[in-house]
């Protein structure tokens, strides 16, 4: 196995909170899948958890070397939780097809957040 790419991202949690306030469900539905939104809304401060997931999607797209665009869309990348609580990437649509063509076997991610920042790193192995 080889490391195919690494990526990291950090986002201001205030930016996510402002987008939620300004655009509401339109913003959430553009960037996140239903399970991600439901999980975040089950927490005391949803914008903190959404910021970490936003950063994860950016980190994954950077690890692929594509950014969010033609090969990978926001909703093609889903951050889910294992029973243990560990985050895991679920690929959908274009991302699943693109990952298969690149020989991706696993994507490791790590998420973190504070009151001010959401951060994530990603390592793609193939």
The DSSP code sequence of 48-115 is HHHHHHHHHHHHHHHHHTS-SSSS--GGGEEEEE-TTS-EEEEE-HHHHHHHHHHT--EEEEEEEE-S
Which pTM does this prediction carry? Answer: 0.96
Of 49, 62, 92, 100, the catalytic one is 62
Tell me the average pLDDT across 45-62: 98
Active site residue 92: no
Mean local confidence (pLDDT), 118-124: 98
Q: Is 62 among the residues known to form the active site? A: yes
Q: What are phi and psi of 34, to 5 degrees?
A: -55, -40
Report domain 3-125's class.
Answer: alpha beta
Q: What is the largest CA-CA distance in the chain?
A: 44
Q: Where are the domains of the chain?
A: 3-125
**pLDDT at position 44 over 90:** yes
């Amino acid at each position: 196995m080889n490391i195919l790419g690494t990526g990291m991202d950090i986002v201001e949690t205030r930016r996510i909170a402002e987008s939620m306030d300004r655009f509401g469900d339109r913003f959430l539905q553009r960037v996140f899948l239903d399970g991600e939104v439901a999980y975040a809304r089950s927490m005391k401060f949803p914008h903190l958890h959404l910021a970490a997931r936003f950063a994860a999607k950016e980190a994954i797209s950077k690890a692929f070397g594509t950014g969010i665009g033609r090969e990978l869309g926001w909703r093609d990348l889903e951050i889910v939780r294992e029973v243990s609580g560990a985050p895991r990437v679920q690929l959908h649509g274009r991302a699943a097809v693109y990952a298969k063509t690149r020989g991706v076997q696993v994507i490791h991610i790590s998420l973190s957040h504070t009151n001010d920042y959401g951060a994530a790193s990603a390592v793609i192995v193939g």
